[in-house]
Amino acid sequence: MRYRRILQPGATYFLTMVTFGRRPVLADTRVIGHLRAAVSKVQQRSPFIVDAEVILPDHIHVLWTLPDDDADYSTRVRLMKSYFTRSAGNLDAMCGISPSREAKGERAVWQRRFWEHTIHDEKDFLDHLDYIHFNPVKHGLVKAARDWPHSTFQDWVERGVYEPWWGSDDAPPLPQWVGRE
């Protein structure tokens, strides 16, 4: 059975990309610099807007908005993973390569697939924005969203969407889909 993805030109997509075996490949700030450079390189080739992101040690969540005439987020994800894997050095030593991947000439940095959700409306966007920014707290990495350095939380505080203390006392109400991404 072939997996079907929704392709809607100009849409905003919530995407989750996970490292192979959930290894903490993205725990090093230098490696995160390579990830950001890879995203920038893809943006130069195929423009899109990074509305929000959080980079955790073993996965990333993003909201990307594509141009009005473009729905090809899959190629952007593939290129980002490829550019990152090539630029970040020998991450295979940390990750290890399965015989299946080795036979196909694949590296062992990312899981093959990724999670995608097309944003339907403003409430859906805000729910996913909350989920992205609360994720480091959910995973026990920090006590408050403001304390995680690898997210766009502070950008959204500056825009007036969040108060700096948001998500520090109690978990914000998150939608039903949380945990299924």
Q: What is the CATH number of the domain that holds 124?
A: 3.30.70.1290
Say what the pTM is: 0.87
Contact 36, 132 (CB under 8 A): no
Residue 62 in any domain: the answer is: yes
At residue 122, the pLDDT reads: 97
H helix or E strand, kind and range, residue 16: strand 12-18
pLDDT tens digits, 96-146? 555 554 555 555 799 989 999 999 999 999 999 999 999 999 999 999 999
Domain count, the chain: 1
- Number of helices (H) and strands (E), helices first, in the chain? 6, 4
CB atoms within 10 A of CB 19: 22
Query: What pLDDT does residue 106 have?
Result: 58
Residue 142: give the domain boundaries.
12-158
> Please, what is the average pLDDT of the chain?
88
Residue 123 domain-assigned (yes or no): yes
CA angle at 136 for the pair 128 and 21, rounded to the nearest 5°: 95
